[in-house]
Amino acid sequence: QVQLVESGGGLVQAGGSLRLSCAASGRTLSMYDMGWFRQAPGKDREFVAGVSWGGGRYADSVKGRFTISRDNAKNTVYLQMNSLKPEDTAVYYCAARLRSGMFASIQRDDYKDWGQGTQVTVSS
């Protein structure tokens, strides 16, 4: 099991940027596919971005604005979020899944380890 702690959330105006971090402990992240999901009030938790050895993949709603990256030496995954929109407002969660393919899964139920989440609020 890997323990995940997100940070970097906050309040930002539309058009602004934030960088979320997900620090892992207990296991080395190089063994895992990593994903970022988000959940807005009253909505299901949805896939945002994922990274595996084949590279990153993104939800259509964030493609071209968000970038996922990982630093295995620091055991940390990042989500750089640019050109933020009010509809990006949500709690953002980091998730881990033992590596199983070329690209990270977009399915929430495939991920076994989750962080506690960090709030991102984008004002208009």
Q: pLDDT, tens digit, for every residue of 3-24?
A: 999 999 999 999 999 999 999 9
Residue 29 pLDDT greater than 90, yes or no: no
Query: How far apart are the C-alpha atoms of 42 and 44, rounded to whole Å?
Result: 7
Confidence of residue 53 (pLDDT cuts 50, 70, 90): confident
In tens, the pLDDT along 55-95 reads 999 999 999 999 999 998 999 999 999 999 999 999 999 99
In the chain, % of residues over pLDDT 70: 100
Q: Are 118 and 92 in contact (CB under 8 A)?
A: yes
pLDDT of 101: 81
- Hey, what are 115's tokens? 């962080």
Query: How far apart are the C-alpha atoms of 57 and 39, rounded to whole Å?
Result: 18
pLDDT of 46: 98
Using DSSP's 3-state secondary structure scheme, residue 109 falls into: helix
